[in-house]
């Protein structure tokens, strides 16, 4: 766990220097369409984000980290948050969609 905590700590330091990162977007039909998923997946992903991602550390805003960082860190953090595979998948899809919304990008996965 020490290595993961160090990695997350480094990411949080970098993220803190990256600017505001935008809001925590609510899922919308447009986000779902852009991602090619049902809106319910985004809703579940946001719920996981809001519920689990601040238990061990401050929430990192979806717009603060590049999608590749999210793809790399979410599987590690999902283990500590005790997320199911479905919850992890929904969380990652939400983070991709939210990042795209904050930055005006189309981030289909």
Structural domain that includes position 65: 27-103
pLDDT in tens, 9-45: 444 444 433 345 567 999 999 999 999 999 999 999 9
pLDDT in tens, 54-73: 888 888 899 899 899 999 99
In a domain, residue 53? The reply is yes
Residue 104: what pLDDT?
76
In a domain, residue 21? The reply is no
In a domain, residue 15? The reply is no
In a domain, residue 58? The reply is yes
In a domain, residue 7? The reply is no
pTM higher than 0.85 for the full model? no
Q: Is the distance from CB of 21 to CB of 61 less than 8 angstroms? A: yes
Q: Is the distance from CB of 70 to CB of 109 less than 8 angstroms? A: no
Which spans in the chain are helix H? 2-16, 29-35, 39-52, 67-80, 85-103
């Amino acid at each position: 766990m020490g290595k993961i905590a160090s990695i997350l700590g480094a990411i949080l330091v970098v993220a803190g220097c990256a600017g505001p990162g935008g809001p925590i977007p609510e899922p919308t039909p447009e986000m779902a369409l852009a991602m090619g998923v049902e809106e319910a997946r985004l809703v579940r992903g946001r719920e996981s984000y809001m519920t689990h991602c601040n238990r061990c550390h401050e929430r990192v805003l979806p717009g603060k980290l590049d999608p590749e960082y999210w793809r790399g860190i979410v599987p590690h953090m999902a283990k500590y948050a005790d997320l199911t595979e479905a919850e992890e998948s929904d969380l990652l899809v939400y983070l991709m969609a939210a990042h795209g919304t904050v930055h005006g990008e189309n981030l289909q996965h």
